[in-house]
Amino acid sequence: MIETVRLWAIVVLVAFGLFFTFVSAVGVIRLPDVYARAHTASQTDTLGAGLALAAVALALGWQSATVYTVLLLFFVFITNPTAAHAIARSAAESGIEPLTSDDLEEGERR
């Protein structure tokens, strides 16, 4: 019984992890500017990777590799948002202006 619950928890975590990673990939491709892309990459990609790593940790059970998986999970939670912030800050310091709704409507009229 407990193994069945564990298996289904792993499947659910992997499915949600894949879903959020897919949403992140679509967002990076479809969103209009660097700021929106950095936003989706930092949030949904971190969540997707976190859920997938949680599934791996649950699948491994109580092993030494689980400790490394949890450490990797914390590393991802720290570095993904930091990298997105660095990209957005670099874009801002380079003078890249964020797109507004007027800019988007103008692009649709062309």
What's the CA dihedral at 100, 38, 18, 66 to 10 degrees? -150
User: pTM here?
Assistant: 0.81
Average pLDDT over residues 70-91: 93
pLDDT tens for each residue of 22-40: 999 999 999 888 999 998 8
Domain boundaries, given as residue ranges, for the chain? 2-98
Residues 66-105, buried b or exposed e (16+ Cβ, 10 A)? eeebeeebeebeeebbeebeebbeebeeeeeeebeeeeee
Q: Look up residue 52 and give its two tokens.
A: 């997938």
Instruction: State how far the Cα of 48 lies from the Cα of 50, in Å rounded to an integer.
Output: 5
